Amino acid sequence: MPVSAIEFRDVSFSRPGRAQVLDHFNLSVEGGDVLALVGRSGSGKTTLLKLVNRLLLPDAGAIFVEGRDTREWEPIPLRRRTGYVLQDVGLFPHMSIADNVAVVPRLERWSQARTDERTRQLLELVGLPAQQFATRWPDELSGGQRQRVGVARALAVDPPVLLMDEPFGALDPMTRAELHAEFRRIQSRLRKTVIIVTHDMGEAFALGDRVGVLDAGRLVACDRPEEVAASAHPVVRQLLDALPSIPHVSRRT
Amino acid sequence: MRRLIEFWIAHRVELGALVGQHVLLVVASTLAAAAIGVPLGIFASRRPRLASPLMAAASVVQTVPSLAMFGFLLPVPLVGGVGARAALVVLILYAILPIVRTTVAGLRGIDPAVREAGVAMGMTPRELLRQVELPLALPAIAAGVRVAAVVGVGSATIAAAIGAGGLGEYIYRGLSMVDTTVILAGAIPAAALALLVDASLWWFERRLSARRRAGSRRIVTAAAITAAAAVLLSSGVAARRDRGAIVVGSKNFTEQLVLGELLAQTLERAGVPVDRRLNLGGTLICERALISGDIDVYVEYTGTALTAVFHQPVSNDSASVFDTVRTLYARTGRTLLPPLGFNNTFAILVRGADARALGLRTIDDAARESPRWRAGFGYEFVGRPDGYPGLARAYNLKFPQPPRVMDLTLTYRALAAGQVDLIAGDSTAGLIKGLDLVQLEDTRRYFPPYDAAAVARAEMLLRHPEVRAALESLSGRLTAEVMRSMNYAADVEHRDISAIVRDVLARPAPTIAGTLPSKPS
């Protein structure tokens, strides 16, 4: 059996003074797959991502990235091999767009020429021509453009794993649909192992090769989208019923 | 205004030097405070539990009056003493608080998502600090540095109290001469300097927040290098002391400035090189500076030495006081030279108009009027055992309100202006004549003698017998009349002190008695 790219084995995690976030949680993601995790606010989605790149360590159980326990990984190399797109984008406001994208290459001490070339490529990839955008500043961009920069920044050193935390949550429906299409186009070329978390079942169905449903620290379903759509589990049904008949701008969690 | 401009033109070289010293003090202390305060702020923001005690300590430091701080620091080796070094230490201590505070605020104000993005990108804590946190906190830090620098321009005026120079020198000189022109001659450039510093740092701050990553980093590096250079330079300047020169000190009022200049010129006439450290904060600072060897000689008054320096009970006999004080000084490595000739005792003063209208002649007469009067005294007089409390008992003074306490030199003005009705001044003060004040007779002999005499470091006198000979040549040469006329020439006629002293010394010894020729006008 091939080693899963990311695997959660019997993971428990709690924050002091709060309810259990993850409770004997199991999950595996195959290389090149996109797993879309859906859950309500506070269901532990962000925690789950932070456990993968060792921003957090589990109370019990273990998380394996490329077959290696996160406790054994040095945190810095692990994080540089793991692209991370944050819920709030988190672009560095004091850096130009090009500098934002070039953060990790610079940390990795790439040559200036290689960094410039890579930055240009990435900006083209996410649909922001370098000529036009490289020297601009984050606060001059629209929300959708900033999200694209966030994706480009996460992909900068070509990490095998990409973690995305509600990446399109704050966007208007048109931009969202556009970015969903962009994401599928980019993913068809790059074949990254992706975990994307969202509170929107529609988005999960649009992006995931597989869809997982989180509830009270456990995975109540994890399967191909059509199987999940057919599930009779009450939590899954509830999330499915919440799907609007026409898309609308969801509120951020 | 015309007098002010004339003063500046006449003193333009000195003014330039004082402005230069002032700027150097502010720049060096602010940069050094930034070099200490920013790392301290980073440290504090990382450890919130340590942050509050740290901030509290910095706040407490800032509430200590600067003159008191100089008093504390004087005996401390390395940082203490008299001159630019001690002034820098005090200014740095004052400047640290605003810088630490804004550094902490700047770091805490960073959007957590941005910091989290840095960590998630795989930045080490150092990379996060250098590439994300510091650049984002920089505008706040720059604002703190600006506040520190502007406050520093004001605080640096106090440096003059310990002989570190700067524009405070005019302010102190003006205060002791009760000459508004001289005060303004220092205060106006200081205020202009504060505005200039504020404006230029504001411009610098705006450039920093103009989001030029590489540029701002270069600016910060340049600033850090300048800081290091300035601190090295100024500590070099502070450490430098003319080895061979005899350091003459004085306290910070006109008569002391005159006497300091008199000692200095007397030594110079004997061919001894002199370094003037005049206008030091007060008895305490002169005393500590003499002990630490920062000054070699200054003029003290026997009564002051007896009570304020050696904490001995008050005595009224001039000769026995002199002997006691000379012995006490000798035990602590100092030599009291023969009296200069005048006794500057406290003078209880009232307005001439009151004295004539009410027929006041003695302090007993004033005691009669005291229930209707208000008294004003200098800080020293209120606290000293031979000062106000004893006086009130001896003469049964009954003022309805506690005396107003203010700077000694301001009391003369307050009396003349009618804000108070009775003050304790110096019997040799030129202002007594200048402001038409009347000295009331101390019929009960309450005040101890205050014979003026130079006190010098014994070790220095041993090495330099020529200094001793020169200082002893002044013995008995200054009568009260001479002293009062010199004070009058300085305080009322606003003549240059070194010229006044030169005139007096030019007259043949030992008969310096008599009045000075008035200023030709």
DSSP collapsed to 3 states, A34-63 = EEEEECCCCCCHHHHHHHHCCCCCCCEEEE
CA A229 from centroid of its chain's CA atoms: 22
Triad B18, B258, B480: Cα angle to 5°? 160
H-assigned helices in B209-282: 213-239, 254-269
CA distances from A242 to A169, A180, A238 (A): 16, 20, 6
Return the structure tokens found at B32: 């050094």
Facing residue for B113 by CB, picked from A90, A99, A103: A90
Predicted local distance difference test score (pLDDT) of residue B486: 92
Predicted local distance difference test score (pLDDT) of residue B521: 37
When comparing pLDDT for A16 and A225, which is higher?
A225
Neighbours of B387 (CB within 10 A): 21
User: Over pLDDT 70: what percentage of chain B?
Assistant: 88
Q: pLDDT at residue B344 above 70?
A: yes
Average pLDDT, rounded, for chain B: 83
Confidence of residue B515 (pLDDT cuts 50, 70, 90): very low
Chain A residues in contact with B107 by the CB 8 A cut-off are none
Instruction: Please say whether the beta carbons of B381 and B450 come within 8 A.
Output: no
Interface test with A, best of B107, B114, B121, B130 (most A CBs within 10 A): B121
CA B151 from centroid of its chain's CA atoms: 17
Calculate mean pLDDT across residues B172-201: 83
CA A58 – CA A71 distance, rounded (Å): 9
Instruction: Please say whether the beta carbons of B109 and B140 come within 8 A.
Output: yes
CA B166 – CA B186 distance, rounded (Å): 9
Residue with tokens 């927040």: B209
Confidence of residue B55 (pLDDT cuts 50, 70, 90): confident
Q: Is A80 helix (H, G, I), strand (E, B) or coil?
A: helix
B355: which residues sit within 8 A by CB, 6+ positions away? B361, B438, B440
Neighbours of B520 (CB within 10 A): 4
Calculate mean pLDDT across residues B478-483: 86
CA distances from B451 to B20, B344, B454 (A): 39, 6, 10
Q: pLDDT at residue B73 above 80?
A: no
Return the structure tokens found at B223: 């600033």
When comparing pLDDT for B450 and B207, which is higher?
B450
CA A60 – CA A53 distance, rounded (Å): 16
Closest chain B residue to the Cα of A51, Cα to Cα: B120
Instruction: Please say whether the beta carbons of B358 and B494 come within 8 A.
Output: no
Backbone angles phi, psi at A82, to 5 degrees: -125, 105
CA B10 – CA B13 distance, rounded (Å): 8
Residue with tokens 């004001």: B154
Closest chain A residue to the Cα of B134, Cα to Cα: A94
Angle between helices B2-10 and B180-208 (to 10 degrees): 80
For CA atoms A48, A50, A52, A55, give the dihedral sign.
negative
Contact yes or no for B121 and A93 at CB 8 A: no
Instruction: Please say whether the beta carbons of A92 and A105 come within 8 A.
Output: no
Confidence of residue B238 (pLDDT cuts 50, 70, 90): very low
Q: pLDDT at residue B239 above 70?
A: no
Q: Is A202 helix (H, G, I), strand (E, B) or coil?
A: helix
Closest chain B residue to the Cα of A86, Cα to Cα: B117
Contact yes or no for B119 and A103 at CB 8 A: no
Contact yes or no for B211 and A87 at CB 8 A: no
Triad B147, B153, B154: Cα angle to 5°? 95
Q: Is B455 helix (H, G, I), strand (E, B) or coil?
A: strand
Predicted local distance difference test score (pLDDT) of residue B78: 65
Strand segments (E) across chain A: 6-14, 20-29, 34-38, 60-65, 68-69, 82-85, 161-165, 193-198, 210-215, 218-223
Predicted local distance difference test score (pLDDT) of residue B176: 63
Chain B residues in contact with A86 by the CB 8 A cut-off are 113, 116-117, 120
**Which helix (H) or strand (E) covers residue B451, if one does?**
strand B451-457
Residue with tokens 């700067």: B166
Contact yes or no for B118 and A79 at CB 8 A: no
Q: pLDDT at residue B191 above 60?
A: yes
DSSP assignments along B374-413, one per residue: -EEE-HHHHHSTTSHHHHHHHHT---SSPPEE--HHHHHH
CA B473 – CA B509 distance, rounded (Å): 9
Contact yes or no for A88 and B113 at CB 8 A: yes
- Residues B279-326 pLDDT 10s: 887 787 788 888 878 889 999 999 889 888 888 887 888 889 999 999
CA torsion, points B411, B413, B419, B423, in degrees to nearest 10? 40
A180: which residues sit within 8 A by CB, 6+ positions away? A168, A203, A206, A207
Calculate mean pLDDT across residues B87-93: 87
Contact yes or no for B132 and A92 at CB 8 A: yes
Chain A residues in contact with B118 by the CB 8 A cut-off are 92, 103
Q: pLDDT at residue B334 above 90?
A: yes
Facing residue for B119 by CB, picked from A55, A94, A96: A55
Entry pTM: 0.65
DSSP assignments along B334-382, one per residue: EEEEEEEEEE--EEEEEEHHHHHHHT--BHHHHHHHGGG--EEE-HHHH
DSSP assignments along B200-223, one per residue: HHHHHHHHHTT--HHHHHHHHHHH
Contact yes or no for B122 and A89 at CB 8 A: no
Interface test with B, best of A85, A92, A97, A161 (most B CBs within 10 A): A92
Neighbours of B366 (CB within 10 A): 23
Calculate mean pLDDT across residues B496-501: 91
- Inform me whether the C-beta atom of residue B228 falls under 8 Å from chain A C-beta atoms: no
- Inform me whether the C-beta atom of residue B271 falls under 8 Å from chain A C-beta atoms: no
Confidence of residue B513 (pLDDT cuts 50, 70, 90): very low
DSSP assignments along B278-311, one per residue: -S-S-HHHHHHHHHHTS-SEEEEEHHHIIIIIT-
Contact yes or no for A90 and B136 at CB 8 A: no
Q: Which of B206-220, B272-286, B476-490, B492-506 is the least confident region?
A: B206-220
Q: pLDDT at residue B236 above 70?
A: no
- Inform me whether the C-beta atom of residue B211 falls under 8 Å from chain A C-beta atoms: yes
Distance from CA of B115 to the nearest CA of A (A): 8
Facing residue for B121 by CB, picked from A79, A89, A99: A79
Q: Which of B154-168, B179-193, B494-508 is the least confident region?
A: B154-168
- Residues A56-65 pLDDT 10s: 899 988 999 9
Predicted local distance difference test score (pLDDT) of residue B77: 66
The phi-psi region of residue B517 (left if phi > 0; otherwise alpha if psi is between -120 and 50; otherwise beta) is beta
Closest CA to B340 of B211, B513, B487: B513
Closest CA to B483 of B445, B452, B510, B447: B452
Give A142's Cβ-side CA count (13 Å radius).
Answer: 8
Burial class (CB in 10 A: 0-12, 13-18, 19+), B495: middle
Residue A135 per-residue DSSP state: T
Confidence of residue B225 (pLDDT cuts 50, 70, 90): low
CA B161 – CA B251 distance, rounded (Å): 9
Q: pLDDT at residue B199 above 70?
A: yes
Distance from CA of A67 to the nearest CA of B (A): 20
CA B82 – CA B249 distance, rounded (Å): 10
Chain A residues in contact with B141 by the CB 8 A cut-off are none
Neighbours of B2 (CB within 10 A): 7
Residue-wise burial string across A114-153, b where 16 or more C-beta atoms lie within 10 A, e elsewhere:
ebbebbbebbebbbbebeebbeeebeebeebbbbbbbbbb
Facing residue for A104 by CB, picked from B111, B114, B121: B121
CA B447 – CA B316 distance, rounded (Å): 7
Q: Is the complex ipTM higher than 0.95? A: no
Neighbours of A9 (CB within 10 A): 16
Closest chain A residue to the Cα of B210, Cα to Cα: A94
The phi-psi region of residue B410 (left if phi > 0; otherwise alpha if psi is between -120 and 50; otherwise beta) is alpha
CA A118 – CA A157 distance, rounded (Å): 8
Predicted local distance difference test score (pLDDT) of residue A1: 44
Return the structure tokens found at B187: 């205060």
Question: Best-predicted range by mean pLDDT among A32-36, A234-238, B163-167, B516-520?
Answer: A32-36
Q: pLDDT at residue A203 above 60?
A: yes
Instruction: Please say whether the beta carbons of A127 and A74 come within 8 A.
Output: no
CA B211 – CA B511 distance, rounded (Å): 75
Closest chain B residue to the Cα of A79, Cα to Cα: B122
Contact yes or no for A86 and B121 at CB 8 A: no
Contact yes or no for B123 and A94 at CB 8 A: no
Q: pLDDT at residue B273 above 70?
A: yes
Calculate mean pLDDT across residues A117-142: 91
When comparing pLDDT for B263 and B407, which is higher?
B263
- Residues B429-446 pLDDT 10s: 888 878 889 989 888 888
Facing residue for A94 by CB, picked from B117, B119, B213: B213
Chain B residues in contact with A137 by the CB 8 A cut-off are 211
